[in-house]
C-alpha cells in the first residue's frame, strides 16, 4: 500500500496530471493554484507549503483577490492626510494609477506590470499629451508603492512589485535664487499691501499657505518672532489646516531689517483684532492665489525679473540665504519647517538662540548687499550684476521642493 502523506493529498486526474489539496491554518481545505505533470512535483509543492505554514509565512490565497481600486479607496479612507495631500493622492489615483491597475487584483500586479506602466507614463509625459512629467510619475510611483507596502503588511501579497531603483526620485529643474537687491526691487515694485509679504516670505522662509493663514497674534515684532501654526489650502474654497508636517509648526526669528516694514503693514493693511489675518485682499477678504497672480505678474515685469519666477522662489531664496549665513542642516531644516525621517530627531532640537543668531547674521548680510548695490548704482554698475557675484566656495542651502 502507498504510504499515506502526513500533510496534504495528491491525486491523479483523468487527464494524467496531478492535483494537490491541503488544509490551511484557517481550517479551509484548499487546492493548489495549478496542477502538476509529475507526482514528484506535486509532493515537492506540498512540502514547501507545509514549511510556509510551520514558519508563519503562509498567505491566504484569497486575501489578494481584491481589486486595486477598492483596496486603494480603503487605504485612503484609513489614512490621516492633510487636505492638500489627500487631494494630490486622489488626483494621482484617478489619472495615473486606476486606469492601469484599477480592475487588477492586487495579487496579480507583477513587477513587469509596474515597469510597463511607468515607461508608458514617462512616454506620455514627454509627448506633452497630458500636463504631467517625470516628477508627477515619481509621485504616482511612490503612492503605488505605499499602498502595496500596506498590502504586504496585511499579508495580502507576499512582496511589493514596486522594485524599480530610482523610480521614486524627483528631478525638478533648479529654481531661481534672487539677490537681496532683487528681492527689495520686487517688494518696491509690487502693490504696497503686498510689500511686506514679499519680505516675510523671503526672510521668514514661509510657504504661501503659511502666509495666507498667518494671524496677528502669531506675529510678535517685539521679539521678532513669527509662529507658524496655521496654513490655508485652496480647493475651490479655502480650507484651514496645520502646516504640512509636525516640523512645519515652528517659531522663526526674523531679521531686524524687515521689522519696520512689517509694523507699517500691520498699521495699514492687516485685518483687525488678534485673529485678523496679516495679509488680506483689496476688499479685506482672505488672501487667494487667484487674486494675487496679477499683482505678482505686474511686479515681476516692473522689477525686470523673469515671468518664470514663482512666489515660492522667495522661500527658496530665503532658504539659500540662511544656508549662506552659516546654518547647519538641522538649523536650516528647523527654520524651513522641513521634515525628514532621517533628520527629524536632529533638527527638532535646534536651539532658538542659535536661530536668533542666524537671523542677526542674515540681517547684517542683507544690509551689506544693499549698501554694496547702492554704491554700485552710484558708480554706474548694475546693482543686480554686483549682487549676483558670490565668493568662491560659497554654498547654497537646499530647498524643500514645495513640500
Which are the catalytic amino acids? 207, 312, 315, 338, 347
Within a 10 A sphere around the Cβ of 203, how many other Cβ atoms?
25
Distance separating alpha carbons of residues 68 and 96, to the nearest angstrom = 13
List Cβ neighbours of 347 (8 Å cut-off, separation of 6 or more).
Answer: 247, 329, 330, 331, 333, 334, 338, 340
Report strand pairing: 225-228 vs 219-220: antiparallel
| Residue from 138, 145, 198 nearest 172 by CA | 138
What are the φ and ψ backbone dihedral angles of 286, each rounded to 5 degrees?
A: -65, 145
What are the φ and ψ backbone dihedral angles of 402, each rounded to 5 degrees?
A: 85, 0
Cell of 57: 509565512
Count Cβ atoms within 10 A of the Cβ of residue 193 and give its class: 0-12 exposed, 13-18 middle, 19 or more buried.
Answer: middle
| Residue from 221, 183, 218, 219 nearest 320 by CA | 183
| Element (DSSP H or E) covering residue 18 | strand 18-23
Distance separating alpha carbons of residues 313 and 213, to the nearest angstrom = 19
What are the φ and ψ backbone dihedral angles of 20, each rounded to 5 degrees?
A: -120, 140
| Residue from 403, 251, 402, 395 nearest 341 by CA | 403
Cell of 138: 515619481
What are the φ and ψ backbone dihedral angles of 377, each rounded to 5 degrees?
A: -65, -40
Within a 10 A sphere around the Cβ of 341, how many other Cβ atoms?
6
Rg (C-alpha) for the chain, rounded Å, is 29
Give strand pairing partners of 105: 67
CB 186 within 8 A of CB 302: no
Residue-level length of the chain: 403
CB 279 within 8 A of CB 271: no
Amino acid at each position: 500500500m502507498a504510504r499515506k502523506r502526513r500533510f496534504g493529498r495528491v491525486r491523479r486526474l483523468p487527464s494524467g496530471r496531478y492535483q494537490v489539496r491541503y488544509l490551511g491554518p484557517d481550517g479551509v481545505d484548499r487546492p493548489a493554484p495549478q496542477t502538476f505533470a509529475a507526482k514528484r512535483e506535486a509532493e515537492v509543492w506540498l512540502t514547501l507549503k507545509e514549511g510556509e505554514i510551520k514558519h508563519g509565512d503562509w498567505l491566504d490565497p484569497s486575501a489578494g483577490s481584491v481589486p486595486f481600486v477598492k483596496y486603494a479607496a480603503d487605504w485612503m479612507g484609513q489614512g490621516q492626510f492633510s487636505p492638500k495631500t489627500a487631494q494630490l493622492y486622489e488626483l494621482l489615483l484617478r489619472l495615473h494609477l486606476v486606469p492601469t491597475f484599477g480592475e487588477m487584483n492586487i495579487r496579480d500586479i507583477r513587477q513587469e506590470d509596474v515597469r510597463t506602466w511607468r515607461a508608458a507614463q514617462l512616454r506620455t509625459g514627454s509627448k506633452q499629451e497630458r500636463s504631467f512629467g517625470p516628477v508627477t510619475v515619481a509621485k504616482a510611483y511612490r503612492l503605488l508603492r505605499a499602498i502595496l507596502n500596506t498590502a504586504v503588511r496585511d499579508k495580502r501579497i507576499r512582496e511589493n512589485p514596486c522594485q524599480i531603483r530610482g523610480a521614486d526620485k524627483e528631478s525638478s529643474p533648479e529654481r531661481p535664487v534672487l539677490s537681496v537687491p532683487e528681492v527689495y526691487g520686487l517688494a518696491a515694485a509690487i502693490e504696497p499691501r503686498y510689500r511686506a509679504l514679499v519680505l516675510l516670505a523671503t526672510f521668514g522662509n514661509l510657504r504661501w499657505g503659511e502666509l495666507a493663514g498667518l494671524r496677528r497674534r502669531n506675529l510678535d515684532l517685539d521679539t521678532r518672532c513669527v509662529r507658524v501654526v496655521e496654513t490655508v489650502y485652496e480647493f475651490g474654497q479655502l480650507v484651514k489646516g496645520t502646516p504640512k508636517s509636525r516640523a512645519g509648526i515652528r517659531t522663526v526669528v526674523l531679521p531686524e531689517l524687515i521689522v519696520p516694514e512689517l509694523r507699517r503693514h500691520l498699521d495699514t493693511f492687516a485685518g483687525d483684532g488678534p485673529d485678523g489675518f496679516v495679509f488680506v485682499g483689496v476688499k479685506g477678504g482672505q488672501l487667494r492665489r487667484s487674486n494675487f497672480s496679477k499683482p505678482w505678474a505686474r511686479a515681476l515685469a516692473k522689477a525686470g525679473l523673469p515671468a518664470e519666477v514663482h512666489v515660492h522662489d522667495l522661500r527658496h531664496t530665503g532658504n539659500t540665504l540662511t544656508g549662506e549665513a552659516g546654518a547647519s542642516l538641522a538649523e536650516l531644516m528647523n527654520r524651513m519647517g522641513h521634515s525628514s525621517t532621517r533628520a527629524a530627531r536632529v533638527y527638532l532640537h535646534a536651539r532658538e538662540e542659535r536661530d536668533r543668531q542666524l537671523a542677526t547674521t542674515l540681517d547684517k548680510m542683507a544690509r551689506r548687499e544693499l549698501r554694496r548695490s547702492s554704491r554700485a548704482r552710484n558708480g554706474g554698475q548694475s546693482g543686480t550684476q554686483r549682487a549676483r557675484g558670490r565668493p568662491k566656495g560659497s554654498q547654497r542651502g537646499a530647498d524643500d521642493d514645495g513640500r
